[in-house]
């Protein structure tokens, strides 16, 4: 049964074998996709384009393939085959196959083992979050943080070795103004209580003073020069500032249970830029333009005249220089087969030029260029249709956003608890309410982010993201706890060997739920290929809906042992996939709500 885990992939291989046996040439492609539910579960559409190229009848082509498939006994035992329209081959999985699949793939660990082939040979560096030091994390940092972590979890689940690299902005001009203010206006107590807040205050103060007073601007520049020359006193202060910054950043990450393997910021690559300068010039990519060093891409419509500058006219490096050094380091040190960078959409041009330049540089120097993907996202909007900000007009701080989410979730849980008491149900304890509120609050923010197509803008609305109705975290968490409540009322020994005692799936709702559970495999693959977590979110919402339809139409605890066991098995498999899918989004399920 293992080779049937990915049903679409298995049918694709069988159709390809049948096509070859039927005498079709190598240009034939099965073109597998989900079928119209009225006709089947999987559809092969390859006969139509093949027949068009061959100037033949597509239905006849389809029939020759189906005739050959008749000699594949494992397919005949698992699916009904039919031809529709101009040569579409439909495969409708039998109830027996659906049941065997559910028996074979139970639990998150088995699902993970069966999915490991999708990325098992890949070493992927994922660069996400990447805030600047000495600044507090705000809502503008949210999307990269949440999307990047979910991508890491998805790739790991599918077998990849994932390296989380936080490419923080910890070098450059800002330090001159920060150091000027730090040495004169530091509040030690505030630094201990709120390191990022105090450092950001000092940076803003230093910037303001420098803009108002030429002598301050001069002293700030001198501070920067000392840092760039790696003066011991300046480096000691720089290390202290960065230590405080990273400690503050990690406090926010801990609220979302997010970790990084490395914090290799811009400073880490500052002594590697010489190699970039030398090699780009030697291999003929770099050229001097108006005193600066740049790379042109004449084959590109815009970049033929919009060069990629990697060395300023004053000889200083820039983001492009350190990013090129970063690409090289990740390829050679981490042996990355793939590099993924998650940022907002405004950096699309930069990373497109980075990829073009790096690819040519690697090829000219005999290196293998890893697969590169810039994953970009849109903007979080307030309910007024503008970029979300606090009442003061400043960006909403992430720590404040999380605290508010938890407070709102706690209020909601206390209201639900009061309803439980009125109905005579067992209420949650205060300790349970506090724990649930933290999970629901952080998960609601997370899911509101991930359920949106990442390239689109979306409106952040508290009432919507904390709702128990619709495609939200509370709805899915509640769906999971509903299933768990069924098992709490059953003795553990009655749950042993459910599959062995289950009768065959029969009702329309049972079959529809089983088919939706099988759909997890295809959705997982699509989500990983597109790096768009909203596809998985949509699937989980639909799965919860299919379960609700099943539960409303089919009583689970019945006298008939075979029926009861098969329905309990469906409940368990639904819970397996819900918990697995939510886990890939960074959302833990709850025992009670």
Residue 580: predicted pLDDT: 97
**Do 533 and 527 form a contact (C-beta atoms < 8 A)?**
yes
- Encode pLDDT of 406-460 as tens digits: 999 999 999 999 999 999 988 999 999 999 999 999 999 999 999 999 999 999 9
Residue among 450, 482, 489, 457 at smallest CA distance from 578: 482
| Element housing 376 (H / E) | strand 371-377
- Encode pLDDT of 321-347 as tens digits: 999 999 999 999 999 999 999 999 999
- Encode pLDDT of 468-483 as tens digits: 999 999 999 999 999 9
CA atoms of 431 and 413, how far apart (whole Å): 12
Question: How far is residue 170 from each of residues 135, 146, 346, 433, 468, measured CA to CA in Å?
Answer: 11, 22, 21, 40, 42
Residue 108: predicted pLDDT: 85
Tell me the three state secondary structure of residue 262.
strand
pLDDT range class, residue 392, cuts 50, 70, 90: low
Query: What sign has the CA pseudo-torsion 581, 582, 585, 591?
Result: negative
Residue 80: predicted pLDDT: 94
Q: Could you say which of 3.40.50.720, 3.30.930.10, 3.40.470.10, 3.40.50.620 is the CATH number of the domain covering 123-289+316-380?
A: 3.40.50.620
Read off the pLDDT of each residue in 133-139 and give the average, rounded to a whole number: 91
505 backbone dihedrals φ, ψ, rounded to 5° = -55, 140
What angle (nearest 5°) sits at the alpha carbon of residue 533, between those of residues 589 and 325? 120
Dihedral through CA 459, CA 463, CA 468, CA 470, nearest 10? -30
Q: pLDDT averaged over the chain?
A: 94
Question: How far is residue 117 from each of residues 158, 335, 528, measured CA to CA in Å?
Answer: 7, 20, 12
Read off the pLDDT of each residue in 514-540 and give the average, rounded to a whole number: 96
404 backbone dihedrals φ, ψ, rounded to 5° = -65, -40
Share of the chain above pLDDT 90, in %: 83
CATH architecture for residues 398-584: Orthogonal Bundle (1.10)
- Encode pLDDT of 203-239 as tens digits: 999 999 999 999 999 999 999 999 989 999 999 999 9
Share of the chain above pLDDT 70, in %: 99
CA atoms of 77 and 100, how far apart (whole Å): 12
- Encode pLDDT of 144-202 as tens digits: 999 999 999 999 999 999 999 999 999 888 899 999 999 999 999 999 888 889 999 99
Indicate the pTM of the whole model: 0.92
324 backbone dihedrals φ, ψ, rounded to 5° = -65, -45
Residue 390: predicted pLDDT: 67
Residue 37: predicted pLDDT: 86
What is the token pair recorded at 239? 């290390």
Residue 492: predicted pLDDT: 78
- Encode pLDDT of 240-256 as tens digits: 999 999 988 998 999 89
CA atoms of 523 and 113, how far apart (whole Å): 16
The residue with tokens 């508290």 is 462
- Encode pLDDT of 278-289 as tens digits: 999 999 999 999
pLDDT at 110 over 70: yes
CA atoms of 244 and 262, how far apart (whole Å): 17
The residue with tokens 């069988």 is 14
Read off the pLDDT of each residue in 366-384 and give the average, rounded to a whole number: 95
Residue 489: predicted pLDDT: 83
Domain 2-93: state its class: alpha beta
What DSSP line would sit under 349-375, residue for residue?
Answer: HHHHHHHHHHHHHHHHTTPPPPEEEEE
Q: Which of 370-384, 447-461, 491-505, 547-561 has the lowest mean pLDDT?
A: 491-505
Domain boundaries of the chain, sorted by first residue? 2-93, 123-289+316-380, 398-584
Read off the pLDDT of each residue in 573-593 and give the average, rounded to a whole number: 96
CA atoms of 181 and 209, how far apart (whole Å): 9
Q: Which residues contact 204 (CB under 8 A, 6 or more apart)?
A: none
Q: Which of 18-22, 33-37, 524-528, 569-573 has the lowest mean pLDDT?
A: 33-37
């Amino acid at each position: 049964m293992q080779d049937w885990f990915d049903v679409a992939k298995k049918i694709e291989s069988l159709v390809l074998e049948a096509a070859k046996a039927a005498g079709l040439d190598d240009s034939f492609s099965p073109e597998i996709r989900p079928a119209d539910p009225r006709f089947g579960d999987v559809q092969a559409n390859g006969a139509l384009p093949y027949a068009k190229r061959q100037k033949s009848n597509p239905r006849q082509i389809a029939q020759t393939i189906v005739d050959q498939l008749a000699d594949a006994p494992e397919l005949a035992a698992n699916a009904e085959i039919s031809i529709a329209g101009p040569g579409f081959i439909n495969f409708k999985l039998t109830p027996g196959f659906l049941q065997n699949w559910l028996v074979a793939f139970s639990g998150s660990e088995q699902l993970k083992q069966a999915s490991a082939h999708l990325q098992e040979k890949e070493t992927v560096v994922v660069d996400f979050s990447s805030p600047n030091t000495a600044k507090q994390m705000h809502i503008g940092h949210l999307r990269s943080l949440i999307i990047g972590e979910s991508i890491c979890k998805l790739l790991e689940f599918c077998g990849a070795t994932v390296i989380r690299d936080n490419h923080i902005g910890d070098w450059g001009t800002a330090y001159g103004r920060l150091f000027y203010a730090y040495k004169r206006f530091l509040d030690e107590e505030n630094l201990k209580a709120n390191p990022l807040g105090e450092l950001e205050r000092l940076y803003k103060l230093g910037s303001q003073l420098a803009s108002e007073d030429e002598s301050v601007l001069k002293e700030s520049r001198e501070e920067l020069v000392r840092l760039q020359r790696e003066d011991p006193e300046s480096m000691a202060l720089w290390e202290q500032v960065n230590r405080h910054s990273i400690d503050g950043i990690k406090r926010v990450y801990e609220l979302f249970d997010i970790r990084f393997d490395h914090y290799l910021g811009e400073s880490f690559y500052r002594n590697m830029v010489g190699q970039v300068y030398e090699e780009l010039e030697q291999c003929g990519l770099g050229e001097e333009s108006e005193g600066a060093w740049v790379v042109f891409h004449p084959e590109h419509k815009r970049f033929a005249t919009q060069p990629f500058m990697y060395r300023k006219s004053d000889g200083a490096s820039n983001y492009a220089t350190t990013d090129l050094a970063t690409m090289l380091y990740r390829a050679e040190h981490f042996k990355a087969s793939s590099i993924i960078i998650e940022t907002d959409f405004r950096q699309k041009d930069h990373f497109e030029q980075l990829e073009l330049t790096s690819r040519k540089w690697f090829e000219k120097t005999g290196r293998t260029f890893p697969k590169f993907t810039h994953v970009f996202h849109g903007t979080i909007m307030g309910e007024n249709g503008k970029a979300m900000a606090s009442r003061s007009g400043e960006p909403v701080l992430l720590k404040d956003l999380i605290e508010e989410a938890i407070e709102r979730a706690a209020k909601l849980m206390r209201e639900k608890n009061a309803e439980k008491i009125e109905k005579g149900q067992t209420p949650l304890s205060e300790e349970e309410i506090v724990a649930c509120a933290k999970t629901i609050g952080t998960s609601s923010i997370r899911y509101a982010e991930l359920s949106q197509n990442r390239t689109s803008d979306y409106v952040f609305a508290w009432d919507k993201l904390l709702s128990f109705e619709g495609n939200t975290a509370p709805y899915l968490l509640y769906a999971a706890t509903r299933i768990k409540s069924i098992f709490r009322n059953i003795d553990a020994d009655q749950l042993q060997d459910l599959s062995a005692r289950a009768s065959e799936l029969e009702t329309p709702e049972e079959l529809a739920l089983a088919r939706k559970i099988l759909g997890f495999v295809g959705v997982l693959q699509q989500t990983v290929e597109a790096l768009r977590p909203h596809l998985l979110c949509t699937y989980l919402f639909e799965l919860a809906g299919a379960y609700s339809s099943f539960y409303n139409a089919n009583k689970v605890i019945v006298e008939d042992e075979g029926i009861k066991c098969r329905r309990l098995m469906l409940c368990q498999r639904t819970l397996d996939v819900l918990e697995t899918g939510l886990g890939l989004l960074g959302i833990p399920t709850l025992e009670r709500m």
